[in-house]
Amino acid sequence: MNSNVNMSNQEYSDFVDSKAKKSNLGKNIFMAFLVGGIICSIGQVISDIAMHYGVQKQDATCITTIVLIFLGAFLTAINLYAKIGKVAGAGSIVPITGFSNSIVSPAIEFKTEGYILGLGANMFKVAGPVLVYGITTSVIVGFVYWIIKLFM
């Protein structure tokens, strides 16, 4: 009997793809839409309440961010965020609460390796790239804007 698989890598990959059970895209998108929408609406509620008490719009946005980040961290700490994420997928990854979750989750897990090299060093393991690329892009945007302003 021939003991080697008689297929090229590409053929094998296609063969496996044809066998693999597809994830239920429709249901996943619906859940992401639902949960994402709910989290954003909660954000709007927080912002509206703040503005109701006379806070400026700019500061209201800040407060919303802080409260949502707190909620994300809290839900992660009581082991609830991962359960939501299992159902919601991107619906709970994309909102700012997901950013908070991606900071708290490695921090909790690497606590066993100590507070400095474990918790401290691994806190931004998942979320670090967001800051790296976000801030870098903003500096590029600022630079381009500054150049344009020079000539206008």
Interface positions, 107-136, toward another protein (CB under 8 A): 107-112, 119, 123, 125-127, 129-131, 133-135
Shortest distance in whole angstroms from residue 56 CB to another protein? 13
Give the one residue of 1, 54, 116, 152 binding another protein; rule: CB under 8 A: 1
Count of residues engaged in binding another protein, rule: CB under 8 A:
101
Q: How far is the CB of 137 from another protein (least distance, A)?
A: 4
Query: Is 41 within 8 Å of 71 (Cβ atoms)?
Result: no
Compute the C-alpha angle 12/16/17, nearest 5°. 115
Alpha carbon of residue 80 to chain centroid: 16
Instruction: Please select the residue that binds another protein; options are 14, 37, 56, 114, rule is CB under 8 A.
Output: 37
Count of CB atoms within 10 A of residue 7's CB? 11
Residues 61-100 interacting with another protein (rule: CB under 8 A): 61-62, 64-66, 68-70, 73-74, 76-79, 81-86, 88-96, 98-100
> Hey, what's the torsion of the CAs at 54, 59, 65, 71, to 10 degrees?
-40
